[in-house]
Amino acid sequence: MAQIKIFYEPETELLSVFWQVPRRNQIATELGDGVILIKDGTSGEPIGLEVLSYLPGDDRFDAVSVELGRMSSMQPAS
Protein backbone atom coordinates (compact mmCIF):
# COMPACT_ATOMS: atom_id res chain seq x y z
CA MET A 1 0.00 0.00 0.00
CA ALA A 2 1.27 3.46 -0.89
CA GLN A 3 1.96 5.93 1.89
CA ILE A 4 1.10 9.56 1.36
CA LYS A 5 2.70 12.11 3.66
CA ILE A 6 1.07 15.51 4.03
CA PHE A 7 2.79 18.40 5.77
CA TYR A 8 1.17 21.75 6.53
CA GLU A 9 3.14 24.73 7.78
CA PRO A 10 0.61 27.37 8.87
CA GLU A 11 3.29 30.05 9.45
CA THR A 12 4.27 29.96 5.78
CA GLU A 13 0.90 28.72 4.44
CA LEU A 14 2.66 25.84 2.68
CA LEU A 15 1.03 22.45 2.07
CA SER A 16 3.34 19.65 0.89
CA VAL A 17 2.11 16.24 -0.28
CA PHE A 18 4.56 13.42 -1.01
CA TRP A 19 3.66 9.98 -2.34
CA GLN A 20 7.34 9.03 -2.51
CA VAL A 21 10.30 9.85 -0.27
CA PRO A 22 11.66 13.39 -0.87
CA ARG A 23 15.04 13.40 -2.60
CA ARG A 24 18.13 15.58 -2.40
CA ASN A 25 18.12 16.00 -6.17
CA GLN A 26 14.43 16.85 -6.57
CA ILE A 27 13.35 19.57 -8.96
CA ALA A 28 10.21 21.69 -9.02
CA THR A 29 7.95 22.80 -11.84
CA GLU A 30 5.24 25.40 -11.32
CA LEU A 31 1.92 24.20 -12.70
CA GLY A 32 0.12 27.49 -12.09
CA ASP A 33 -2.20 28.89 -9.42
CA GLY A 34 0.48 28.33 -6.75
CA VAL A 35 0.74 24.56 -7.33
CA ILE A 36 4.28 23.15 -7.63
CA LEU A 37 5.01 19.65 -8.96
CA ILE A 38 8.05 18.04 -7.33
CA LYS A 39 9.96 15.50 -9.42
CA ASP A 40 12.99 13.26 -9.04
CA GLY A 41 15.90 15.18 -10.57
CA THR A 42 17.31 12.11 -12.30
CA SER A 43 14.26 10.26 -13.64
CA GLY A 44 11.79 13.16 -13.82
CA GLU A 45 9.23 10.99 -12.02
CA PRO A 46 6.67 13.00 -9.99
CA ILE A 47 7.10 12.40 -6.25
CA GLY A 48 4.99 15.13 -4.68
CA LEU A 49 3.48 18.57 -4.89
CA GLU A 50 3.31 21.77 -2.92
CA VAL A 51 0.52 24.30 -2.68
CA LEU A 52 1.60 27.87 -1.92
CA SER A 53 -0.57 30.27 0.12
CA TYR A 54 -2.68 27.34 1.34
CA LEU A 55 -5.31 27.80 4.03
CA PRO A 56 -7.66 25.04 5.24
CA GLY A 57 -10.74 24.94 3.03
CA ASP A 58 -8.75 26.17 0.00
CA ASP A 59 -11.05 25.92 -3.04
CA ARG A 60 -8.15 24.86 -5.30
CA PHE A 61 -8.87 21.35 -4.03
CA ASP A 62 -12.39 21.33 -5.44
CA ALA A 63 -10.91 20.14 -8.73
CA VAL A 64 -8.32 17.68 -7.37
CA SER A 65 -9.05 13.97 -7.61
CA VAL A 66 -6.48 11.48 -6.34
CA GLU A 67 -6.83 7.84 -7.31
CA LEU A 68 -4.36 5.11 -6.40
CA GLY A 69 -4.20 2.03 -8.53
CA ARG A 70 -2.90 0.70 -11.79
CA MET A 71 -3.58 2.57 -14.99
CA SER A 72 -4.62 -0.70 -16.72
CA SER A 73 -7.69 -0.82 -14.47
CA MET A 74 -8.80 2.58 -15.83
CA GLN A 75 -9.78 1.38 -19.32
CA PRO A 76 -12.63 3.38 -20.86
CA ALA A 77 -15.97 1.61 -21.00
CA SER A 78 -17.07 0.49 -24.47
Sequence-distant (≥ 6) Cβ neighbours of residue 47 within 8 angstroms: 18, 19, 20, 21, 22, 23, 26, 38, 39, 40
Domain ranges for the chain: 5-57
Pairing of strands 46-51, 35-39: antiparallel
DSSP β-bridge partners for residue 9: 14
Spatial separation of the C-alpha atoms in residues 42 and 27, rounded to whole Å: 9
What predicted TM-score, i.e. pTM, was given to this entire model?
0.70
Q: Give the model confidence (pLDDT) of 12-71 as tens digits.
A: 999 999 999 989 999 999 999 899 999 999 999 999 999 999 888 888 766 555 555 554
